[in-house]
Structure 1
Amino acid sequence: MKKQIIFASACVAILFCAWTLSITTSSTSRKGYFGAKRLFQNYVSQTDVKSMVKVVCFVETCAENLETRALSVKNTWAPRCDKTLFISDQDNSTFPAIYLPGVVKGYGGIWSKTVQSFRHLYKNYLNEYHWFMKTDDDTYVVVENLKYFLGKDSLSMHNPPKHNPDEPHYFGKHFSVLGGYTSGGAGYVISREALRKLEDVFANKRSPKKCEAHKKTGTEDVLIGRCLDVAGVRPGNTLDSQGRDLFHSFHLDTEVIGDNFPGWYYQYSANPPGRGCSNETITFHYVNPREMRLLDFSIYQLGSFRDREKQKFTINDFYVKSRR
């Protein structure tokens, strides 16, 4: 009974948050996810969204989670990235997932997995993509909102993107302690120039002492923040116009209701917790496979008849057409 109540509460939180992301207020003042889709519709009609904001997503997972957590990511939000890599502790050509040399197996090896992943991206994808996003296998990403955040100033007329990928940028849920870094579970994204600078540090072209890139284990999100700091890259602002976070470190019900955060979070968070769920939310963390499918359905398929009639073109249509 207790488990049923917990799951029911999670479902209510998911549906409520999806509602805030998808339901619109009027034809002239639209909020949330469909508002972002409307902007993307105009953007697509003027330029090539895939060439302007190209994102590689890499999902850190392990063999035992491949057919559960990682599969749910693969079947929901991952295809909306321009490219997705599943980084595991062993190769799996069927899934597919890749193992990178130098990765230490087990949870303690997440730091080595992150270092090797970024080095792999630098070597193979630097010139092809603009942004590089790290997530866990229980992170949910609204990819369109991510792209909207990164390039929203270019969604009207022919302005350049708000955040130039050839400048050093680092975005995620900002923690202000331990020198400043972003939450690993909430996911974080760095620009192409930030990746260049990060590789300089990893390759010992700049002082690695603070960064500790050659450690096999460690607290991944803290250490990547230190390495980026050595590279001269600091966390950027990821709040919406109402001061609410776009990247979330916790489960949907915690973030939506805003009253069940652990004590340490109030000390760590750069933004005061409990301000609610942004209509332009990009990520949530601790999303299990069942909830991930429900959240994906709620955001991308569930909507009022009015919205379906008014939204003849959706970003999903664009993604389907672009893959033909």
Structure 2
Amino acid sequence: MRRIVTNCVYLALLLLAWKLFLATSPTTGLFGEKRLLRKYASGAEIKSSVRVLCFVTTCESHLSTRTISIKNTWGPRCDKTLYISDKENSTFPTISPPGIDPGYQALWSKTMQSYRYLYKHYLNEYHWFMKADDDTYVVVENLKYFLAKHNPEEPRYFGKHFKTLDGYASGGAGYVISREALRRLEDVFAKEKQPERCRFMDKIGAEDANLGRCLGVAGIHPGPAVDSEGSDLFHSFIPDWEVIGDMFPDWYYTSSKNPPRVGCSNDTITFHYLTPRLMRLLDYLIHNLGALTLKEKEIYAIHPYYLS
């Protein structure tokens, strides 16, 4: 039974990679439709212009399994990647910003203190700040192409949008905030009296919902992270669930702002719950068999901010 399930997963990943490969027509699919927009820049220009800092929340026990898989796959494709743990490890390396408490139940303190650390040390160096779990896979190229259409000096917040609890972006699917959103988030954190809806010094609670509440205090809510067909770009589950679409739990349908669909966008940015083995396989399928290995220069939409 286990072998059958594994074979089904591999088949779903192969189908996904083939879909990405077929989507490289110069007029349709993965990137072609963006040629129709008014502002243009080459892929190389976007890579050098849209600066993204990624940070991965992890722990010491995952470094040799989950986290090393990110370090060996998508992690280096961000302009900078930090691995945030509750214990510093100079060999890996990981960092542990002040105020982080140990344990999974304290994940909120890890996320909150990470953003405070990024504000203090990296605010002016990067345009966007992407958070991912250590079992999240990020197609960084697609992330940059999506962010290139938005001005980082505006308060932006993108991810898999859940409409419950006043609205927030799924932590497992990963979320990204703009430089201006980080500025405003720090303003909330720096208040002497904690706002009622953002009990940011509490050590427990779902980190993604807590962050959504704190950003909400700053007037920032999840923006639409969908393609031209209305399909989600950030995904809370593994590729075969998202591609085939027949295993979603009931709560996913009721909580999702954008109803789940069968199949994935060609512009997909993230998947969640990947084992290290599946993460390495997906990386190979996308970057060695898929569209991103083609050498032809494509044309992409880009916000004028990055061209000035």
TM-score, normalised to structure 2, is 0.90
Whole-Å Cα distance in 1 between the matches of residues 13 and 63 of structure 2?
24
Q: Whose RCO is larger (CA < 8 A, sep 6+)?
A: 2
- Would the alpha carbon gap of residues 111 and 25 (structure 1) be closer, same or farther in structure 2, given more than 3 Å must change? closer
| 1:60 alignment counterpart | 57
Q: Say if 2:93 is the partner of 1:96.
A: yes
> Are the aligned partners of 1:21 and 1:33 in contact in 2 as well (CA < 8 Å)?
no
Counterpart residue type for residue 61 of structure 1: T
- Would the alpha carbon gap of residues 240 and 12 (structure 1) be closer, same or farther in structure 2, given more than 3 Å must change? same
Q: How does 1:1-324 map to 2 (within 5 A)?
A: 2-24=1-23, 26=25, 28-32=26-30, 43-44=42-43, 48-151=45-148, 162-204=149-191, 207-303=194-290, 311-312=295-296
| 2:301 alignment counterpart | none
Q: SS where residue 119 of structure 1 aligns? A: helix
| 1:318 alignment counterpart | none
- After superposition, the C-alpha distances for 1:43-75 in whole angstroms (9 at most, x for unaligned) are 256xx4344210000000000001100000000
- Would the alpha carbon gap of residues 32 and 205 (structure 1) be closer, same or farther in structure 2, given more than 3 Å must change? farther
Deviation, 1:24, is 3.3
Q: SS where residue 83 of structure 2 aligns? A: strand
Deviation, 1:277, is 0.4
- The runs of 4+ residues in structure 1 deviating greater than 6 Å are 33-37
- Would the alpha carbon gap of residues 293 and 168 (structure 1) be closer, same or farther in structure 2, given more than 3 Å must change? same
Counterpart residue type for residue 299 of structure 1: I
- After superposition, the C-alpha distances for 1:149-206 in whole angstroms (9 at most, x for unaligned) are 011xxxxxxxxxx210000000000001110001000000000000000000011167
Of the structure 1 ranges 116-125 and 16-25, higher mean CA displacement relative to structure 2 is found in 16-25
Gaps of 5+ in 2: 299-308
Whole-Å Cα distance in 2 between the matches of residues 214 and 207 of structure 1?
8
Counterpart residue type for residue 123 of structure 1: K
Gaps of 5+ in 1: 152-161, 315-324
Q: SS where residue 121 of structure 1 aligns? A: helix
- Would the alpha carbon gap of residues 189 and 106 (structure 1) be closer, same or farther in structure 2, given more than 3 Å must change? same
> Are the aligned partners of 1:20 and 1:32 in contact in 2 as well (CA < 8 Å)?
no
TM-score, normalised to structure 1, is 0.86
Of the structure 1 ranges 28-37 and 217-226, higher mean CA displacement relative to structure 2 is found in 28-37
Counterpart residue type for residue 7 of structure 1: T
- Would the alpha carbon gap of residues 25 and 98 (structure 1) be closer, same or farther in structure 2, given more than 3 Å must change? closer
Deviation, 1:20, is 2.1
> Are the aligned partners of 1:33 and 1:145 in contact in 2 as well (CA < 8 Å)?
no
Deviation, 1:303, is 4.4
Q: SS where residue 296 of structure 1 aligns? A: helix
- Would the alpha carbon gap of residues 184 and 122 (structure 1) be closer, same or farther in structure 2, given more than 3 Å must change? same
Q: SS where residue 150 of structure 2 aligns? A: coil
Query: Percentage identity across aligned positions?
Result: 59
Whole-Å Cα distance in 1 between the matches of residues 47 and 288 of structure 2?
22
User: How many aligned positions are there?
Assistant: 296
